[in-house]
Amino acid sequence: MSGISFEEIMFTIMSATQDTFKSYMNIDLLAGKVEKKVGAVDSDVTGIVGVAGDRVGYIIFATDKKTAQCVAKELLMVDEADDECIRDAVGELANNIAGVFKTKYHEQYGSVALGLPLVVSGQLRAISEPPDLNEGTSINVQCKGVTIPFTTANGAINIKVMVYM
């Protein structure tokens, strides 16, 4: 494997997220402070794409339903976004962000494969955290990696992109 650092991958995912939103929806995203873990995330909709090959991991895209509806309307150019539209839009965004990783690092890593996007709902929490019995469904995730928060200048759109590799 080549000497590409995790930081380079993180910055690639960061710019891929911003570029995807700008080119597909003309939305400027601002990146927030990167957390050096994939921890508990309160999200209504989460898109997960597995990365396989010499570098293995996940790209995870998480957001609340209000943001997911806004993004789905913009991305799919519809007046109203039902659950199916939201699933399609979140899956498409997660897939596009992971696709940038695949395209950029294919030469260095050789065969890089992406799984089909999986779109789920519920709270993400680290495996080491006990479940909150008062909460609804939760999804356990490994806690190594980073979480990158993004927002628009007016705060209308808030997402988190997590990278585990």
pLDDT tens digits, 59-113: 999 999 999 999 999 999 999 999 999 999 999 999 999 998 888 877 766 778 8
Per-residue pLDDT, 1: 40
pLDDT confidence tier of residue 138, bands split at 50, 70 and 90: very low
pLDDT confidence tier of residue 161, bands split at 50, 70 and 90: very high
Is the Cα torsion angle 142, 105, 5, 8 positive or negative in sign? negative
* Residue 64, amino acid: D
C-alpha radius of gyration, the chain, whole number: 15
Contact (Cβ atoms closer than 8 angstroms) between residue 10 and residue 113 = no
Report DSSP state, residue 128.
Answer: T
Q: Which two tokens stand for residue 17?
A: 């997220």
Q: 61: part of which helix (H) or strand (E)?
A: strand 57-63
Q: Which two tokens stand for residue 45?
A: 């909709």
Give mean pLDDT, residues 29-34: 94
pLDDT confidence tier of residue 137, bands split at 50, 70 and 90: very low
Give mean pLDDT, residues 31-46: 83
What pTM value is reported for the model? 0.83
pLDDT confidence tier of residue 35, bands split at 50, 70 and 90: confident
User: If we measure between CA atoms, which residue out of 56, 64, 23 comes closest to residue 149?
Assistant: 64
Contact (Cβ atoms closer than 8 angstroms) between residue 134 and residue 45 = no
- Parse the chain into domains and list their residue ranges: 6-164
Is 152 a residue whose pLDDT tops 90? yes
Q: Does domain 6-164 have CATH number 3.30.1360.120?
A: no
pLDDT confidence tier of residue 38, bands split at 50, 70 and 90: confident
Of 53-67, 79-93, 121-135, 136-150, which range is least confident?
121-135
